[in-house]
Structure 1
Amino acid sequence: MLITGLAGLVVAIVLVIALTRSDPPAPEARPSFDGDRALALAAEQVAFGPRIPGMPAHDSTRAWIVAQLRARGARVAELPVSVPHPREAGRTMEGTNIFASFDTTAQRRVLLAAHWDTRAVADNDPDPTKRFEPVLGANDGASGVAVLLEMARLLSENPAPVGVDLVFFDLEDMGEPGFGEDSSAVAYALGSAAFVRQHPGYRPAYGILLDMIGDRSLRIPKEGYSMQAAPAVVEMVWSAAARVGATAFAPETGAPIYDDHIAFLQNGIPMIDLIQTPFPDSWHTTSDTMDRLSAASLAQVGRTLVEVLWGIEAERATS
């Protein structure tokens, strides 16, 4: 991410977003998101090592994510990504997006997403001698994936009143300094941009992207581009957060972030980015390790998503 300005699996839907009513269903209608389980899922990813495209840990993690999803009964597709290098003729960057669907017959669909790759160089590390070391990505990568995998468990055990798709984007964190100003620099969010190009008929009602949502001092403002292009979705999610007491969701607008939601917004799909800003000091450093994560922070985000799917979407379905 950067601060700046299927077919075949699902059917196309109309872009209609129903906002909340003031009388949510009884809390017992919601499944219980387990923050400790999500934290353990993050630790399993980190144990593979840095998930850098082309490296063995990347392949092992892809297989592990797919196995986790299939064990939960999801319909899973592994979608290859091949992106030409902007500066090196003949060279491509290769990755895999992972698409998982629950209730594939539902016309109305909600997209939940995160990136699963990690950065090859800790170029923001305060120690210059460590800036060419890889990033473990406990927060920047594993945290969002962990929440999605715990949501997969809930979806398998408690069908939601809406179709839900989980997408795990690859090639998110390969961006180079100068991206946005230098056309020869490698861009961020390559996997999500490829996904949108490859599947123009995929039209979820809205999407929610998770990125760096596990820090012990979690604070998520309303990301700038999300507020510009999908304010109704932002307000719906913040309403859900208020219902469940998720105080990490700050009431003010934050910085605009170039992230995996941008390609969807550019394609007319209202997708928002849940991301901590300012970025935590572990961002793109060798200190992005498990000790920086909190089960309570992961649970705040997870409980909010539960309220969106089993609370707000249930209200829309019965209104």
Structure 2
Amino acid sequence: MRSSEHNPPRTLRSALLTLICIPTLLAYAPLSDSSLRRIPSGAPDLDAQTGALLAPLLIPRVPGTPGSEAAQRHFAGFFAALPRWRLEWQNSSSRTPATGDALVPFANLVFARDPPWARAGDVGRLTLVAHYDSLYEPEGFVGAVDSAAPCAMLMHVARSIDAALTRKWEAMEADGEAGLGLEEERGVQVVFMDGEEAWHKWSEEDSLYGARAMAESWETELYPAASTYRTRLESIDLFLLLDLLGGPDPTVPSYFPETHWAYRGMAKVEERMRKLGVLTTKPKSGVFLIDGDKEQVQRRAGNVGYVMDDHVPFLRRGVDVLHIIPGPFPPVWHSMRDDGDHLDRDAVDDWARIVAGFTAEWMELDEFMVGEKEERLEIRSREEL
């Protein structure tokens, strides 16, 4: 996420797909106040020193090193406790300016849940993304906001919606609604991307190693001819990328006119959570997500382009992107101060809740969100059966 680039022209086909899909996606209903209140806090597990989700990631995670492998095991172990999520590895290798002729391995981890009756090519997926690699230099760089904390947030999001997804799809099957085409098949996938950082100096070739490999692979991965989507790439309903989150008092603008409606949806979730007293932080501007009209977003995009990050290879192929990254960047960016001690614990938890609320709303889980007490009783009842 280094320089900026102006928006490339979308292909006619991509533009038509956008026009077709937006009315459908805009139709999802807001979560009720009770459901927003039920989005759980992840504060204990998102603590920098002791948190089960975050603390194990606060180590150097340079691709191809033991730290990177430890992060991969952490992700895999966490989702092993959520057995309905399937794991897919998307592997590649590349030379880098820092390693000469030696090939560096890059491993993207994809954890996905689809309706159990649906064929893969018929499911459009909300795609939640953060990169887990850290800088090669300076040696020992941890990268807490960049991007250990966003990865931990996505783990919390997956856990927060897991049971509700099960309830929704079981209810649809019980009511005979599964696979009838009464609504579009909708799934969710969490992508931990490798190789985002440059090894020497940010350039087209020295950056986004994992994202470039995945976008190229998914563009050519064809589904059966009768499928709703032609390729794996086309099945991405929205590419929601988190980066540089977890510092105090962030300001996150809307970067793309095409997905400003989705940005406004997340901003509304944050606004309502603050009014309900669900969130803890008190940012100077009142909110993290500074909502503006579409014309302001178009002017910003025309003047400054967009931040270079893992979404770029997907954006250039016509994928709709919602980029949640502060502007300006946090002051600790790419410094040794980007560590657990400089995280704002409340901001980390609030971001996790906001993204979980947005995801639950997108997946239409309103009537399937229950409180922690009810969920414990439900689990105990199932175990007794």
Alignment TM class, shorter chain as reference: 0.7 to 0.9
Give the corresponding residue for 2:284.
Answer: none
Mapped to 1, the partners of 2:31 and 2:311 lie a distance apart of: 30
Q: What is the correspondence of 1:107-256 to structure 2 with a 5 Å cutoff?
A: 107-122=123-138, 133-159=139-165, 162-177=186-201, 179=203, 186-200=205-219, 201-202=231-232, 203-222=235-254, 224=255, 227-245=256-274, 247-251=287-291, 256=306
Which ranges in structure 1 are unaligned for 5 or more consecutive residues? 6-13, 123-132, 181-185
Mapped to 2, the partners of 1:178 and 1:66 lie a distance apart of: 30
Q: What is the correspondence of 1:290-309 to structure 2 with a 5 Å cutoff?
A: 290-309=340-359
Structure 2 residue 65 is matched with structure 1 residue 55:
yes
Residue type of the partner of 1:151? Answer: V
Shift in Å, 1:293: 1.4
Compared with structure 1, are the counterparts of its residues 28 and 315 closer, same or farther at alpha carbon in structure 2 (3 Å cutoff)? Answer: same
Compared with structure 1, are the counterparts of its residues 313 and 85 closer, same or farther at alpha carbon in structure 2 (3 Å cutoff)? Answer: same
Residue type of the partner of 1:195? Answer: M
Q: What is the correspondence of 1:280-299 to structure 2 with a 5 Å cutoff?
A: 280-299=330-349
Question: Larger strand proportion, structure 1 or 2?
Answer: 1
- The correspondence for 1:314, drawn from 364, 381, 384, is 364
Residue type of the partner of 2:56? Answer: E
Mapped to 2, the partners of 1:299 and 1:163 lie a distance apart of: 24
Compared with structure 1, are the counterparts of its residues 259 and 54 closer, same or farther at alpha carbon in structure 2 (3 Å cutoff)? Answer: same
Compared with structure 1, are the counterparts of its residues 242 and 20 closer, same or farther at alpha carbon in structure 2 (3 Å cutoff)? Answer: farther
- The correspondence for 2:317, drawn from 250, 259, 267, is 267
Preserved contact between residue 98 and residue 199 of structure 2 (Cα < 8 Å):
no
Residue type of the partner of 1:38? Answer: L
Shift in Å, 1:312: 4.4
Question: Larger helix proportion, structure 1 or 2?
Answer: 2
Residue type of the partner of 2:211? Answer: S
Q: State the TM-score, normalizing by the size of structure 1.
A: 0.80
Residue type of the partner of 1:4? Answer: S
Mapped to 2, the partners of 1:176 and 1:86 lie a distance apart of: 6
Residue type of the partner of 2:289? Answer: F
RMSD (Å), alpha carbons: 2.7
Compared with structure 1, are the counterparts of its residues 87 and 175 closer, same or farther at alpha carbon in structure 2 (3 Å cutoff)? Answer: closer
Shift in Å, 1:306: 2.5
Compared with structure 1, are the counterparts of its residues 62 and 241 closer, same or farther at alpha carbon in structure 2 (3 Å cutoff)? Answer: same
Preserved contact between residue 112 and residue 167 of structure 1 (Cα < 8 Å):
yes
Shift in Å, 1:116: 0.5
Preserved contact between residue 138 and residue 293 of structure 1 (Cα < 8 Å):
yes
Mapped to 1, the partners of 2:77 and 2:98 lie a distance apart of: 36
Shift in Å, 1:315: 8.5
Give the corresponding residue for 1:65.
Answer: 75
Mapped to 2, the partners of 1:198 and 1:118 lie a distance apart of: 23
Classify the secondary structure of the residue corresponding to 1:251. coil
Shift in Å, 1:88: 7.8
Compared with structure 1, are the counterparts of its residues 88 and 307 closer, same or farther at alpha carbon in structure 2 (3 Å cutoff)? Answer: closer
Count of residue pairs brought into register by the alignment:
288
Residue type of the partner of 1:189? Answer: L
- Percent sequence identity is 22
Q: Write out per-residue CA displacement over residues 56-108 of structure 1, whole angstroms, 9 at most, x where no aligned residue.
A: 11111111111111222210112212134479874433210000012354523
Mapped to 2, the partners of 1:89 and 1:72 lie a distance apart of: 40
Residue type of the partner of 2:39? Answer: S
Q: State the TM-score, normalizing by the size of structure 2.
A: 0.67
Q: Write out per-residue CA displacement over residues 236-271 of structure 1, whole angstroms, 9 at most, x where no aligned residue.
A: 332333332371112355762100111111111101
User: In terms of Rg, which structure is larger?
Assistant: 2
Preserved contact between residue 33 and residue 151 of structure 1 (Cα < 8 Å):
no
Mapped to 2, the partners of 1:68 and 1:151 lie a distance apart of: 12
Compared with structure 1, are the counterparts of its residues 310 and 121 closer, same or farther at alpha carbon in structure 2 (3 Å cutoff)? Answer: same
- The correspondence for 2:46, drawn from 13, 33, 38, is 38
